[in-house]
Each structure stands twice: as structure tokens, then as C-alpha cells.
Structure 1
């Protein structure tokens, strides 16, 4: 049976980079929707499904999302159609969500395996400063990581936890995630 591997954790913890490396024909990526503008080199339908606010609101009204949330004044959500096709094909896949998304997905599908990707606050701050964030966005993301995303409650729903701190070889972090996925698929 297919498993949905759901990655979650603070901004700049390495979730997207890890997902890029684990995505392949036998572990496709579920593409989520957002109202935020594409970042440099992001492609609609490949990295996200980019929507304007009214289109996103229309999808909400028509109950087309499994889950959606507002983060930094932008909307993010998982379209039912994005997941149902892969679940029907009995394929394993991966998705990046927040905690609310993980909880919603676990209520709808029994084969969800949540992997928390974390980093210490110093690593998160340094990585966020490299990104093209406004100072207000930077402060909000750091505060959210400190107060919510690195809290004990946030980690409790994880089926596995992997730390990706600065100074750790990324290939080691990636191998840990791959091993977790392999073990979950064979159990």
C-alpha cells in the first residue's frame, strides 16, 4: 500500500532540499498550492501550483482542499486532486506540510508517515537571512520557529525526527531520511 511521507518543520530547516533529493519515479512529490509569488527559478506546477487570492478562495469555497493554512499573509494548501490520484494508484509519495496539514492528512488517510526536519535556531536564523525575506518576514519566521515549530508539542506527531543543523554534512542528513523511508516502506 502507498505511504504518504509528510515532511514538516521550521522554515529553512532543509525540508524542500531534502524533498528534491528523495523525489524520484517511485517516490513522486505531491505539489501543493500557494498564493505567494514564485521565488527565483520556481515553476508553476513543478514547485507549487501558484494561484491568485481569489482563485485560492474559490477552491476553498468549493471544498477542493484537504487542508489549507495562512502563513506570512499567504495561503498554502493541498488540493484533494493532488493526493487522490496518487493514493488511487497505490503509490508512495512525499509532501511538505505544516503541523495542521499533517494532522488533517492523518485524519483522512491511514498511511501517513510524518518526518520532522529540524534545525537549531542559529542555523534557521542564518539560513533565513540568506533568503530574499523582508525584515518583518524574517522576524516572524524566527519567532514562529522559536515559539511553535521547535516546541515539544510540534514534534509529538512525528513518526521520525531528523536534525539538519549547520555543520552537519547534508549527505548524512539525507541518508538518515532515506533510511527512514526505506524502513517505513518495508515494515
Structure 2
């Protein structure tokens, strides 16, 4: 993706999803570091803040009542419950971004990606996959922030998510963060006609 801000890019919504522990946040952070012009939606969540996380940067942290209000007012493009917590994408910032003629990137879970596909069929869905199942297990175990029970629950969910990879337009393997970040940025900038057709199509 050229770093020249004058280069035209399509106003397309791109969704990045994949199993827990695959490195979605790491890849997105690398994209933002190398290509700061890439706009990423900040999700809302009822999950407790982890050490080092900043409200409004990593997530908008809200309580259950505020999340209920956003749902009732149709303020979320998508939302899902995952591992006992709820996550959602505020709709207004995404619509405002696309209205300027620039692309927008969402990093969300599988349930949310399916909702976006239903509500915005023109969106590009990208699945981030691990190099292997063993590597995914290692990454989840290495987090250190969750109990073994939570890790096992996440692994069970991750297996179901991996099985859904065929629903996505493109699969990117996260075997190298820099390479995966470059591939994601190229997908953000590519015309719709250059999209890779997924196995489900």
C-alpha cells in the first residue's frame, strides 16, 4: 500500500477475524505502526481491562447496562458474546469513515464477522489463521493472563472458528507478523475485483 496519502483507495469495509490467540491484535498493531493512515474501529466490550490496556485505544470499556443501551438504540454494527463477555462495533464511526471515501478495518470475532456479512455483503472478510494447531495452543498457553479452564474453553471455540475459515473471502496465515501485516494492507487497498474468492463461494 503506498504511503502517499494522495493515492486513492476504495471506501471498503474490511473485517479481520480468526481464532483467539492467532495474533489478530499483534498483526493490527504492526499495520498501524507501519501504515498509520490505516483506520481501525475501536470496539466496545464488557470485558475487564487487562494490564496495559487503555480505554478508548484498545477498547471502549463499558458495563452491561451501557452495552444494553447501545443494542437498544441500534448503535452497534455487530455484537457478540465471547468467553462470557460481550464485544461490539460502534456503527457511527465506521459509517463516518466510509463516508469520507476511505477504507475502514474491523478486528472482530467470528460471530460479529457473520453479522457484518449479513448487514454489509460488500464487506471484505479476511481470516487470520495460525501456521498450525500446535502453534495456536502454544500461543494461548503463553498468554499467562487466563486460567487453564478459560484456555481450554478458548481452544474449543478456536477449533470451531478454524472450521469456518471457508466462509471468508481471504485467508492470511500468520507465520510472520510483518508479512501478514503487509498482506492485510494490500487487501485493504486492492480493488474489489482483485479479491480472492473463498472456498464457500
Tell me whether the two structures share a fold, i.e. TM-score over 0.5.
Answer: yes
Query: How does the TM-score come out when normalised to structure 2?
Result: 0.82
Q: Alignment partner for residue 179 of structure 2, among 161, 172, 184? A: 172
Q: Alignment partner for residue 161 of structure 1, among 171, 175, 178? A: 171
How far apart are 1:55 and its partner, in Å? 1.2
Q: 1:162 to 1:68 in 2, by over 3 A?
A: same
Q: Which residue of 1 aligns with 2:133?
A: 121
Q: Which residue of 2 aligns with 1:15?
A: 24
Q: Could you tell me how far apart the structure 2 residues matched to 1:140 and 1:15 are?
A: 19
Q: Alignment partner for residue 90 of structure 1, among 88, 98, 101? A: 101
Q: What is the aligned residue count?
A: 181
CA contact (8 A) 1:2 1:87 kept: yes
Q: Which residue of 2 aligns with 1:59?
A: 70
Q: 1:81 to 1:179 in 2, by over 3 A?
A: closer
Q: 1:181 to 1:91 in 2, by over 3 A?
A: closer
CA contact (8 A) 2:79 2:89 kept: yes
Farther off after superposition, 120-129 or 69-78: 120-129
Q: Alignment partner for residue 15 of structure 2, among 6, 11, 30? A: 6
Unaligned stretches of 5+ residues in structure 1? none
CA contact (8 A) 1:26 1:91 kept: no
How far apart are 1:42 and its partner, in Å? 1.0
CA contact (8 A) 1:26 1:92 kept: no
CA contact (8 A) 1:2 1:91 kept: yes
CA contact (8 A) 2:22 2:128 kept: yes
How far apart are 1:135 and its partner, in Å? 1.5
Q: Which residue of 2 aligns with 1:134?
A: 147
Unaligned stretches of 5+ residues in structure 2? 1-9, 195-201
